[in-house]
Amino acid sequence: MTGGFYLSCMAAYCLGILLASPHWIAGPAAAGALSVCCITTARILRPRWTRACAILCAMLLLGALGMAGRVFSSRRAVTARMAGRLVEVRGSAAGESVTDEGGARFFLDVRSVRSAEAEYEVRERVEVSCGPDTSTGAVFPGAGFTARGRLSEAGDWQASRGATAVLAVAEGGLKRSSDPPPLTASMIHGFRDGIADGYREVFGRRIAGFLEGVTLSRLSDMDPADVEALRSCGLSHIVAVSGLHVGAAAAIALGIAAALRIGKRKRYLAACATGFAVMAMASFRPSAARAWLMACAAAAGVMLGRDHYPLTGLSAAGILILGLNPRAVFDPGFRFSFCAAAGIVILVSGTRPAGKVRSLVAVCCAAQLGVIPLMLAGGDVVPVSALAANMVAVPMVGPMLVFGWAVSALGLLSAPAARLLGVIPGTMARIVLGAAHFFARVPGAYTGGILPTAALLAYLAGLALLVARIRRESPILAPCSLICSSAVVMLLAVPLFTGSTTATGVTFLDVGQGDACLLRGAGGATVLIDGGPDGDLLLRKLRERAVSRVDLVVLSHPHADHVAGLVTLMDRMPVGRLLEGGMTGVQSSLYDRLLESAGRRRVRRTVAREGQVVVVSRDLSLRVMRGPRDLPEQPEDPNEGSVVVMAEVEGLEVLLCGDLEVEGQQELVEAHPRLDCDVLKVSHQGAANAACDELLAATSPEVAAISVGRDNKYGHPSDKCLGLLRKWRAAVFRTDRDGDIVVGLDGGRIAVSTSGR
């Protein structure tokens, strides 16, 4: 049987898992029906296909039944049935914690659950969610914790990771368990911390943090701007230990062993051991496990004198991992690692060597072609500069990994010697970071959001034809010609997919139940007014519009649906200046974190005052129409203290009122009777008190934009607000219905376009 057949077996197994995921009964039933149809059709059409189809159907059923068992167990879980109750759980961490603007969270493998009524011994997993003021301490696989709080149902994301519930930790409700963690877990955690400490002794904070990311997949100490730059140019995979790291380390170990003239068997055993060490340092991520299993299969084939087929090894590794953990199919790292490896194996493996540079180009291109379908299908942006960036960075990952470890180990013996050796990985790290920031600023670095289904199908069809051509003709010339043609196609596609997203004017971003407004001048100057409730979504929206730097950030008032996204933005993207109301007495941890981050990153902070004019560029300026100058630092209602600005973008006048309510709007009109504008950003998601006749009479807007979340629990926008806007004949656009709303001038007339839903 060929490698392609084994790949088909893995595809069938994945399909079975996906079919069983939503409904544990319907999934296997559908899989069984499909299996019967396939076998029947094959027997009628091609009797010799029966055996192959039977094997594929068996894999489909195995995947469906394996996942169905997990889903059924989850729905019968004790923690799932106790949703809404206050409980205390004991268990061990399943991984490291992740921290964002809302606090820290991590998965806990629970051994016991205690409520007011009873105590249960279980083997379940919950996501532990801690507030921003809760200290988690060191969280690593195997570390024991006792957590007290309220359980709630697990969402789709948590369920895909095996969690049966989410535990919101009460204040002071998280404690380390007195039970010692397993010896292996303690050793790995100690090694990881020791390596990180060694980096900090030798390198500066930025380089040490980057090397921690490359060698340990630990991003907590990395400069957020570096993390964003790596993500923007398609290099984020180098700080997530995966097949690239395992393969590079194993290859270097193999080369060193060969140079020392070590025997073949010991040489390959050393390579496998090195790969295992990398996988252990990465907490046994599925992507790293896939690469290690492939490396072991290849080494075993060489030592036994058998032929090795990479596609067979890749498929077998995938089936084994999914057999042990069906939910690994939902792990982005596993999916991207597998598809990148499949691209390399299918497009490059078996071709004649044609020089190091050409081979590197072919490998990088094949890996990118493998993951592009995942990016398009998931609605992600596609970095056009990713190929060039990877050609610079990928060859340095292996040496950085090995030299980084060597520096950390040498530091235990001699600090001066470690600093001397550290010149090598330190220089490589600076080159990679410099390249990342350079390619992140390349114009047209992103092709936009979700491409049409037709484009994805055309891409897949073209890729299939290309694979067929490569396997029959010019093995090494085909990948090289592919590089040129794919680069040309992608570059030509940029104007098609970025033309609207880089348009000048004002864009009301669809960020859910909150506000975020992007102003853009013809020269590329950018202003962001508020950031919505979700920082990751905000950054994605900005990246879709090729925004890599924000010249001015304006915060209308410190409510979470306006400030939360700005906290993430301030940490992960360069910002020139911050304009806000100065309500430092408001009790908001998010607001405090925003100001702290701005100070740490040396962003110039200005307190808004009425009459203040901010000129950002020749065609983009703002005038503060109302500031909280007469309000105390801790007002009863921050909405009434919203900073109100009149923005002018290439002649288009836009009034943005934050969440100013009726009383404040009337005071605004009394102070400024003439507030003529082309576009009005309606306050407070279109609530009943979001507009009044006085404001609409003074502004006479042609367009009214409402930034509001779809199917929100508040019933926004209200019928009262919509009725007022219709009364004053403003064209109403809503982000919950229209998606992103782009308003600009076209030949002196107002033009509105939307992304739709």
- For residue 474, what are the CA distances in angstroms to 182, 351, 356, 480, 485? 54, 9, 18, 10, 16
Q: What is the pLDDT of residues 206-217, one digit of tens each?
A: 999 999 988 887
Under 8 Å between Cβ of 2 and 49 = no
Mean pLDDT, residues 179-192: 81
Last residue of a domain, one of 20, 48, 75: 75
Residue 658 pLDDT > 70:
yes
- Among the residue ranges 102-111, 489-498, 561-570, the one predicted with the least confidence is 489-498
Mean pLDDT, residues 244-256: 79
Confidence at residue 301, expressed as pLDDT on a 0 to 100 scale = 78
Does 71 or 392 have the greater pLDDT score?
392
Helix orientation angle between 286-303 and 310-324, rounded to the nearest 10 degrees: 130
> Per 3-state DSSP, what percentage of the chain is helix, strand, and coil (rounded to 5)?
55, 15, 30
Residue 529 pLDDT > 90:
yes
Which spans in 204-309 are helix H?
Answer: 205-216, 224-232, 243-259, 264-281, 286-303
Confidence at residue 356, expressed as pLDDT on a 0 to 100 scale = 66
Instruction: Examine residue 561 and state whether it is found in any structural domain, yes or no.
Output: yes
Instruction: Examine residue 705 and state whether it is found in any structural domain, yes or no.
Output: yes
Which band of pLDDT confidence, cut at 50, 70 and 90, is reported for residue 156?
Answer: low
Under 8 Å between Cβ of 447 and 493 = yes
Confidence at residue 480, expressed as pLDDT on a 0 to 100 scale = 44
Considering the domain architecture, whether residues 629 and 661 belong to the same structural domain is answered as yes
Last residue of a domain, one of 48, 75, 102: 75
Instruction: Examine residue 441 and state whether it is found in any structural domain, yes or no.
Output: no
> Which residues of 179-240 form beta strands (DSSP E)?
none
Distance between CA atoms of 227 and 544, rounded to whole angstroms? Answer: 17
Distance between CA atoms of 687 and 360, rounded to whole angstroms? Answer: 57
Mean pLDDT, residues 240-267: 80
What tokens were used for 706? 């409402």
Mean pLDDT, residues 532-542: 88
Confidence at residue 446, expressed as pLDDT on a 0 to 100 scale = 46
Considering the domain architecture, whether residues 634 and 716 belong to the same structural domain is answered as yes
For the chain, what's the residue count? 757
Instruction: Examine residue 750 and state whether it is found in any structural domain, yes or no.
Output: yes
Q: Give the chain's mean pLDDT.
A: 79
Q: Which amino acid is at 18?
A: L
Total number of domains constituting the chain: 3
Q: What is the pLDDT of residues 678-727, one digit of tens each?
A: 999 999 888 888 889 899 989 999 999 999 988 888 888 998 999 999 88
Confidence at residue 274, expressed as pLDDT on a 0 to 100 scale = 85
- For residue 296, what are the CA distances in angstroms to 255, 272, 371, 436? 16, 6, 24, 33
Which band of pLDDT confidence, cut at 50, 70 and 90, is reported for residue 48?
Answer: low
Instruction: Examine residue 681 and state whether it is found in any structural domain, yes or no.
Output: yes
CATH number at 509 reads 3.60.15.10
Residue 665 pLDDT > 80:
yes
- Among the residue ranges 35-49, 138-152, 176-190, the one predicted with the least confidence is 35-49
Chain centroid offset of residue 692 CA = 41
**Structure letter (DSSP) for residue 550:** B
Confidence at residue 597, expressed as pLDDT on a 0 to 100 scale = 84
Is the whole model's pTM more than 0.75, yes or no? no
Q: What is the pLDDT of residues 459-505, one digit of tens each?
A: 555 555 555 555 554 444 444 444 444 444 443 444 444 444 456 78
Instruction: Examine residue 492 and state whether it is found in any structural domain, yes or no.
Output: no
Q: What percent of the chain has pLDDT over 70?
A: 80
**Structure letter (DSSP) for residue 383:** B
Distance between CA atoms of 267 and 399, rounded to whole angstroms? Answer: 19
Task: Tell me the range of 234-243, 245-254, 416-425, 599-608 where mean pLDDT is highest.
Answer: 416-425
Considering the domain architecture, whether residues 616 and 547 belong to the same structural domain is answered as yes
DSSP string, 475-526: TTHHHHHHHHHHHHHHHHHHHHHHTTTT-SEEEE---SSS--EEEE-TTS-E
Considering the domain architecture, whether residues 575 and 709 belong to the same structural domain is answered as yes
Considering the domain architecture, whether residues 710 and 562 belong to the same structural domain is answered as yes
Confidence at residue 427, expressed as pLDDT on a 0 to 100 scale = 94
Q: What is the pLDDT of residues 297-334, one digit of tens each?
A: 888 877 777 777 777 888 888 888 888 888 777 777 77
What tokens were used for 6? 């084994």
Q: What is the pLDDT of residues 606-653, one digit of tens each?
A: 888 888 999 998 889 999 998 775 554 555 677 888 899 999 998 899
Considering the domain architecture, whether residues 157 and 25 belong to the same structural domain is answered as no
Confidence at residue 334, expressed as pLDDT on a 0 to 100 scale = 78
Instruction: Examine residue 276 and state whether it is found in any structural domain, yes or no.
Output: no
Considering the domain architecture, whether residues 148 and 42 belong to the same structural domain is answered as no
Residue 143 pLDDT > 90:
no
Considering the domain architecture, whether residues 116 and 62 belong to the same structural domain is answered as no
Mean pLDDT, residues 198-226: 86
Q: What percent of the chain has pLDDT over 90?
A: 15
Distance between CA atoms of 108 and 85, rounded to whole angstroms? Answer: 18
Q: What is the pLDDT of residues 585-601, one digit of tens each?
A: 676 778 888 888 888 77
Helix (H, G, I), strand (E, B) or coil at 152: strand
Residue 82 pLDDT > 50:
yes
**Structure letter (DSSP) for residue 245:** H
Residue 123 pLDDT > 80:
yes
Distance between CA atoms of 397 and 211, rounded to whole angstroms? Answer: 10
Last residue of a domain, one of 57, 75, 93: 75
CATH number at 93 reads 2.40.50.140
Tell me which residue range forms the domain holding 50.
Answer: 3-75
Instruction: Examine residue 206 and state whether it is found in any structural domain, yes or no.
Output: no
Considering the domain architecture, whether residues 517 and 608 belong to the same structural domain is answered as yes
Single out the residue of 584, 564, 588 nearest to residue 632, CA to CA. Answer: 584
Confidence at residue 422, expressed as pLDDT on a 0 to 100 scale = 92
Considering the domain architecture, whether residues 8 and 100 belong to the same structural domain is answered as no
Largest CA distance in the chain: 89
What tokens were used for 417? 């010697």
- For residue 329, what are the CA distances in angstroms to 156, 260, 334, 375? 14, 40, 7, 15
Considering the domain architecture, whether residues 67 and 98 belong to the same structural domain is answered as no
Under 8 Å between Cβ of 240 and 333 = yes
Q: Is residue 667 exposed (0-12), middle (13-18) or buried (19+ Cβ within 10 Å)?
A: middle
Considering the domain architecture, whether residues 560 and 685 belong to the same structural domain is answered as yes
Handedness of CA 343, 346, 347, 351 (dihedral sign): positive
Single out the residue of 258, 286, 282, 287 nearest to residue 270, CA to CA. Answer: 258
Q: Kind of pairing, strands 620-626 and 526-529?
A: unpaired
- Among the residue ranges 235-249, 251-265, 393-407, 593-607, the one predicted with the least confidence is 235-249
Does 37 or 197 have the greater pLDDT score?
197
What tokens were used for 302? 């060489």
Confidence at residue 431, expressed as pLDDT on a 0 to 100 scale = 94
